[in-house]
Amino acid sequence: MFCWLQAVHVLSFELASDRVQQTAAGSSDKAPDPAIRATLQAYQDALESLDADAVKKVQPSIDVEGLKRAFREMRSLDVEIDNIRLLSGDQASARVSCRVAQTLTPRAGSRQTTTVTRVLRLKRDASGWVIETFER
Amino acid sequence: MPIRAITRGLLALVLAVPAAAHAQTPPAGLARLLPELILREITLPTPTTPGLSHAAHFSPLNPEGSADNPAVDIVSGFNALLIGQLASLPLGTSAGGFTYAFDPALGTFSRTSRSFGPSFAERAATIGKQRMSAGFSYQHTSYSRFEGQPLDDGSIRFYLHHEECCTVGGPPVPPFFGVVTNPDGSRLTPFFEGDVIEAALSLDVNTDTVAFFGNYGVTDRWDVGIAVPVVRVDVEASVLATILRLSTGPNPFIHTFEAGNPNATQRTFSRSGSATGLGDLVLRTKYRFFGDTRGALAAAIDARLPTGDEENLLGGSAQTKLFLVASTGGDRLAQHVNVGYSFGGGREAGTLSSRSLPDEFTYAGGVEFVAAPQLTLIGDLVGRTLRGMGRLEIESKRFDFQPLDATQPPTSVHFDEFAQRSGNLNLLFGTVGAKFNPAGDLLISGSVLFPLTDAGLKSRWTTVVGLDYTF
């Protein structure tokens, strides 16, 4: 039963996005708006392309210069965002939890992987959903 | 590419030097230069007329000489301490790379340890799986003092006793000073055994080392590396020998540096040499047990292979060093501590008897300050305790002699000379330096190492410049 539900979730996610995945949500969590998942997909793509300006479009509050400095040290960055859960929200704002896994291949130094669960606030503006802030 | 050009230039320099340098190497090797100079080469002229020759009476290493001569122990002890420190001169460490951690504010990784690492110590950070760094350093050291005495102004003096002569096959007595064939071993019979030659040493020693480093990350936690030093050693020694006619004063023709000239009481003997070649290879491995760039602990092993020519002070000492490395740090300031123990296993040349390189307790601690994103300033204390290495201390020694006038009683004088003492040799150095990242993954480093103690062989400021590149 669990596997079947997961497959349904993955299928629906694939329709909205080819990479950002949604796994089985807790019974109290709601499925996020596909537009929110699309925003997170754009965020993931921007990180992977090491494009600080593209990240800023998705997360206007980001420290662009700091991010550029960080990207300059990177050879590549693989990002996977999954386990997306809508914690609360309405038409104008949303609070979402997700798991972000990143594998860094730096220009110098060791390859490193980190997986963190993050809680972020999104707001809807004229262009759609954008990340307002990370709560954790 | 500038790096390749510099590397090629240095390699050419290093490889071009040996042929000329080895031509200047004395036959016995640099390790025996001082014993040969002081204990063999200080001779008086051979007499032109038949009779007793005093030529080698102050030369214990000559065939008629005796290793029991007290000067042998003193000069050998001096030489052993000197070459023991030359052979184990610390090498600067490779830079060790760049480090990263997840930054929640940026949502991705950033370089949290912006320090480029210490110069004469290690930090716990490893380079990372399948990463490699390579580089080289050039290190110049010259030496100024030995056990607190200046090396280059004749302050260090040895006193060469007259050999016990005439025991077997000595010429008949008169007219040669009443020599008997049974001296009493007191240097009072025959009376001229009471004379002494004072050998005032002036010594100039320099070492230049180009060390090539390579470091590879087998896993994220485990590094292996190699250091290949090419060493040049220059030694220039001169001895002002002065005959002290304690017992032959009234007859100055017995001991003189110029036959028939009673005023020839002084002569300078000199020897110099240099050698260039492969030093002792060092194989390195480091494993980081836990932690990240904000705090980590690692263990490391340096295995020093005796690939250097021990007879020419280029190395030749096997040594295994085990040490722990702890380091912590933030954006601007990082600290590191190393504690280790080296097991000696080689043999030192130049001593008159074989002797292992001593075990050694080592420690280092310091800070790295990130003055700018591309500039790290470094300060360290580096300590070494060479266990059982022994020390030399100035001591007032008594020299007995029988005046020529046999009616006078035996008498004595005192001279200050080194005397051997057992114990550890404790050395402490300070280092300051900087590492600069001009572009990409290139690091240029420069530092100085300076002694904080007077013990043993004391160097002037050792200068080190280096270049590292991480692939």
Q: Could you tell me the two tokens for B198?
A: 């004072």
List pLDDT tens digits, range B227-265. Answer: 999 999 999 999 999 999 888 888 888 888 888 888 989
Binning pLDDT at 50, 70 and 90, where does residue B176 land?
A: very low
- The helix/strand/coil state of B2 is helix
pLDDT of residue A25: 38
Q: pLDDT tier at A16 (50, 70, 90 boundaries)?
A: very low
Report how far apart, in Å, the C-alpha atoms of B453 and of each of A98, A130, B425 are.
Answer: 60, 64, 10
* Facing residue for A70 by CB, picked from B109, B130, B470: B109
B117–A contact, CB cutoff 8 A: no
> How many Cβ pairs within 8 Å bridge chains A and B?
84
d(CA B301, CA B282): 10
Tell me whether residues A109 and B100 touch, CB distance under 8 A: yes
> With an 8 Å Cβ cutoff, are A107 and B98 in contact?
yes
Q: Does A135 touch chain B (CB under 8 A)?
A: no
For residue B302, give Cα distances in angstroms to B212, B270, B313.
15, 39, 20
Strand partners, B229: B211
pLDDT band at B383 (very low <50, low <70, confident <90, very high): very high
Task: Give the H/E segment covering residue B19.
Answer: helix B2-23
Q: How confident is the model at residue B80 (pLDDT cuts 50, 70, 90)?
A: confident
Please indicate whether, in this complex, the C-beta atoms of A74 and B129 are within 8 angstroms of each other. Answer: no
**Nearest CB to A104 within list B97, B109, B470:** B109
Average pLDDT over residues A66-94: 91
Mean pLDDT (whole number) for B156-168: 77
CB B432 within 8 A of CB B415: no
Chain B interface includes A103 (CB < 8 A): no
B2-176+185-470 placed in CATH 2.40.160.40: yes
Chain A CB contacts of B98 under 8 Å are: 73, 106-109
pLDDT for the residue numbered B227 = 92
The sign of the torsion formed by the CA atoms of B127, B132, B138, B144 equals: positive
Q: Are A86 and A31 contacting, i.e. CB atoms less than 8 angstroms apart?
A: yes
Choose among A66, A67, A109: nearest Cβ to B131.
A109
Q: Is the pLDDT of residue B325 over 80?
A: yes
- What confidence score (pLDDT) does residue B373 get? 73
Contacts of B224 (CB under 8 A, 6+ apart): B215, B216, B218, B283, B284, B285
Q: Does B390 touch chain A (CB under 8 A)?
A: no
* Higher local confidence (pLDDT), B68 or B383: B383
Note the pLDDT of residue B1. Answer: 39
How much is the pLDDT for A113? 83
Cα(B371)–Cα(B257) distance, integer angstroms? 63
Are B106 and A104 within 8 A, CB to CB? Answer: no
pLDDT recorded at residue B354: 42
Q: Is residue B352 pLDDT above 70, yes or no?
A: no
Q: How many CA atoms lie within 13 A of B135 on its CB side?
A: 23
Instruction: Identify the DSSP state of B89.
Output: P
Q: How far apart are the first and last CA of chain A?
A: 32
Burial of residue B104 (number of CB atoms within 10 Å: 0-12, 13-18, 19+): exposed
Furthest CA-CA distance within chain A: 48
**Least confident segment among A10-24, B311-325, B345-359:** A10-24
What stretch of H or E contains A128? strand A128-134
The angle at the Cα of B389, spanning B85 to B346, to the nearest 5 degrees, equals 70
Mean pLDDT of A62-85: 92
Cα–Cα nearest to B39, from B20, B65, B13? B65
Cβ–Cβ contact A106 with B under 8 A: yes
Q: Do B107 and A47 touch (CB under 8 A)?
A: yes
What is the C-alpha separation between B16 and A1, in angstroms, rounded? Answer: 77
Residue of A66, A100, A111 with shortest CB distance to B106: A66
Of B98, B105, B108, the CB nearest to A109: B98
Most confident of B51-60, B86-95, B112-121, B422-431: B422-431
The Cα of A109 is separated from the nearest Cα of chain B by a number of Å equal to 5
* Mean pLDDT, residues B321-341 taken together: 90
Q: How far is CA B50 from CA B46, B163, B169, B171, B350, in A?
A: 10, 20, 14, 10, 36
| pLDDT tens by residue, B183-230 | 556 667 777 888 899 999 999 999 999 999 998 888 878 999 999 999
Strands in B61-195 per DSSP E: 101-103, 108-110, 132-146, 149-150, 156-161
The average confidence (pLDDT) of chain B is 81
The whole domain housing A120 covers: 2-134
| Model confidence band, residue B400 (pLDDT cutoffs 50, 70, 90) | confident
| DSSP character at residue B32 | G
Domain boundaries, chain B: 2-176+185-470
In DSSP terms, B442 is beta-bridged to B469
Q: What is the CATH number of the domain that holds A93?
A: 3.10.450.50
Residue B108: closest C-alpha in chain A: A102
For chain B, give the percent of residues with pLDDT over 90. Answer: 33
The DSSP bridge pattern shows strands B411-421 and A112-125 to be: unpaired
Q: Assess contact for B128 and B101: CB atoms under 8 A.
A: no
Per residue in B100-120, pLDDT tens? Answer: 667 888 999 877 567 888 888
Contact present, B215 and B170 (Cβ < 8 Å): no
Kindly report the nearest CA distance between residue B217 and chain A, in angstroms: 8
Strand partners, A101: A80, A115
Hey, is the C-beta of A50 within 8 angstroms of any chain B C-beta? no
Q: Quick check: B217 and A136 CB within 8 A?
A: no
Contact residues for B411 (Cβ-Cβ < 8 A; gap 6+): B400, B401, B403
pTM over 0.80: no
Higher-pLDDT residue of B165 and B384 is B384
Higher pLDDT among residues B332 and A96, named by residue: A96
Q: What is the DSSP letter of B31?
A: G
Question: Domains in chain A: how many in total?
Answer: 1
Interval A26-46 mean pLDDT: 82
CA distances, A101 to each of A55, B227, B230 (Å): 17, 38, 47
Poorest-pLDDT segment among B54-58, B379-383, B446-450: B54-58
- The answer, for A62 touching chain B at a CB cutoff of 8 Å, is yes
Strand pairing category for B266-278 and B282-292: unpaired
Mean pLDDT of B348-371: 74
Residues present in chain B in total? 471
Average pLDDT over residues B400-425: 86
Partners of B100 on chain A (C-beta within 8 Å) are: 73, 104, 106, 109-110, 112
Query: pLDDT per residue over B279-305, tens digit each?
Result: 999 999 999 988 765 688 999 999 999
Residue B306's SS3 state is: coil
The pLDDT, as a whole number, for residue B112 is 58
Give B20-41 pLDDT, tens digit per residue. 334 355 567 888 898 889 988 8
Question: Are the Cβ atoms of B131 and A108 closer than 8 angstroms?
Answer: yes
